[in-house]
Structure 1
Amino acid sequence: MNAPGRLDRAAFRAARAVARRRGARPALHPRGVMLAGSLVVPDHRFHWGVPWLDEPGSYRVTARWSRGAGLPSPLPDGLGLALRVEDAGGPDRPLELLLTSSGSGRLARHLPVPRTSVTSGPYSTLLSYVVGGGLGVVAAFPLPGPAGTPGRRAAVGSRPLAFRLGFGTDAGWWPLARLFLLHEETAPGPYAFDPYENFLPGFRPVDRLRSLRVAAYAGSRAGRCAG
């Protein structure tokens, strides 16, 4: 196994230091709201070559909204939207995605954009995904509906929060599915979202910067244990 690089070591130390100061809370996304919902895959006009995208269906979703740096509201922060799509690859084979508030242009879709409202703009994986034979990012675009901050008021009302999931490549945006967040989860359980562990054939994140993310989360866990 290769020794961790300089950036990985720096990310580990920085996340560990922040987590130590925060005690039991992690360095990244220290607070969040768990939500329940569904993801609906339509009958696409084209063939992705990805089993779960090529068959129309509906899947149960567990989601987590959080503020990336844990800055106090109403300060803008990089908002995180983590998704666990149950049984997307068959029984007990979930798909997990980590999305961050971002732009939608060719460059902006790879950059985090701090926001105050959870519905004022798109969320992107930031790092590239391989979907079928294409390379791009997966993003969630809010559809018209109530605005607000993470919490019960943002997700419970006359209608659920709805998002359009798309795949952004150099050729443009391609539709994937619709996401509906219905209500706050009353018993969220110990969810730890990991897109590198829970991906599907033909639908996976690239390995670029994977070690940096792993190092940061490892540092966060080490800091919490030492706090």
Structure 2
Amino acid sequence: MTTPSPLAVLPARVGGAVIATAVRGLAAARPAEKPMHPVGRVLRGRLERHGLEPGIGVPFVDDAGSDDVVARESKGIGLPPGLPDIHGLAVKVPLGGAGVDDLLADPVEGGTQHADLLLSTNGWGPVARFLVLPSAGMTTRPLTTLFPYRGPRGAVLIGARYVAEHHAQLAVAGLRSDWQVFADLHLEAPEPGTEQADDPDLEFDAVLNELPGLPNYEWVRRVRAPSYAIARRSRR
């Protein structure tokens, strides 16, 4: 895994600027709702980490373990059913002994109770993994973090691919290397005949709530932070 090159940084900077501009417009149009990913559903689940060998130097990825999590499947734009949209998967992982009920009752921002993992429908190849791509459904296209994390041995991307409606495999990769599966995310299916509800107060922020051992690059913070701030102000 290598340090991001200028050619890898440029698409992310351009994408970040486009996203920030879009969020400002959406926030002005619907200030009482989530300007980003307004349509979604919240699901409880279990993240089963079976470890990675050889590892990347991050215990969260390298070591086996399991966590009860809260996840939100969503549409980035909120288009009507049947139309391609940018789908998102957000996962809130408790840290330091916190429980899922604690996070739902009092989601801490910028604290130590949880880490947020945010993925959107992207490509899977060396170039397409940096491109946000619409999909017909939540499970029909791979998802990635789009922006790399600063791993101890170089840049790290996290991706997910659904292998069933409520089962996604999580994988890691460098900027151009192959993906390596390190975990399975099992989401609870809604009761038959019911639709899983959304939670408009549940917030996710990949800048404030970083994964343990995988901080954001400073340039990623500069690109992403304005969009998150705009979204928070719009909701409040």
What TM-score does the superposition give when structure 1 sets the normalisation length?
A: 0.77
Q: Residue 136 of structure 2 aligns to a residue in which SS?
A: coil
Amino acid across the alignment from 1:125: T
1:112-160: CA deviation from partner (whole Å, max 9, x where unpaired): 11012111121100011233413131100111x24xxxxxxxxxxxxxx
- Select which of 114, 118, 123 maps to 2:138: 118
Question: Who is 1:162 aligned against?
Answer: 167
CA distance in 2, matches of 1:11, 1:116: 21
Q: Do the aligned partners of residues 173 and 10 (structure 1) sit closer, same or farther apart at CA in structure 2, a change above 3 Å counting? A: closer
The structure with the greater share of residues assigned to helix is 2
Question: Who is 1:151 aligned against?
Answer: none
Q: Does 1:48 align with 2:48?
A: no
Q: Where do 5+ consecutive residues of structure 1 fail to align?
A: 1-6, 147-160
Q: Do the aligned partners of residues 14 and 123 (structure 1) sit closer, same or farther apart at CA in structure 2, a change above 3 Å counting? A: closer
Q: Do the aligned partners of residues 45 and 81 (structure 1) sit closer, same or farther apart at CA in structure 2, a change above 3 Å counting? A: same
Identical counterparts, % of pairs: 33
Amino acid across the alignment from 2:188: L
Q: Do the aligned partners of residues 134 and 25 (structure 1) sit closer, same or farther apart at CA in structure 2, a change above 3 Å counting? A: same
CA distance in 1, matches of 2:16, 2:141: 30
Do the aligned residues in 2 keep the contact of 1:37 with 1:180 (CA within 8 Å)?
A: yes
- Cα RMSD after superposing both structures: 2.7
Question: Who is 1:174 aligned against?
Answer: 180
- Select which of 70, 76, 95 maps to 1:68: 76
Of 183-192 and 122-131, more deviation after overlay is shown by 183-192
Question: Who is 1:152 aligned against?
Answer: none
Question: Who is 2:88 aligned against?
Answer: 80
Q: Does 1:217 align with 2:228?
A: yes
What TM-score does the superposition give when structure 2 sets the normalisation length?
A: 0.74
Q: Do the aligned partners of residues 40 and 17 (structure 1) sit closer, same or farther apart at CA in structure 2, a change above 3 Å counting? A: same
After TM superposition, give the deviation of residue 36 of structure 1 in Å.
Answer: 0.8
Do the aligned residues in 1 keep the contact of 2:16 with 2:223 (CA within 8 Å)?
A: yes
Do the aligned residues in 2 keep the contact of 1:9 with 1:215 (CA within 8 Å)?
A: no
Of 172-181 and 57-66, more deviation after overlay is shown by 172-181
- Select which of 28, 33, 40 maps to 1:25: 33
Do the aligned residues in 2 keep the contact of 1:11 with 1:219 (CA within 8 Å)?
A: no
After TM superposition, give the deviation of residue 172 of structure 1 in Å.
Answer: 1.4
1:45-87: CA deviation from partner (whole Å, max 9, x where unpaired): 3243222333321101111111111222221111111111122
Q: Do the aligned partners of residues 14 and 76 (structure 1) sit closer, same or farther apart at CA in structure 2, a change above 3 Å counting? A: closer
After TM superposition, give the deviation of residue 44 of structure 1 in Å.
Answer: 3.1
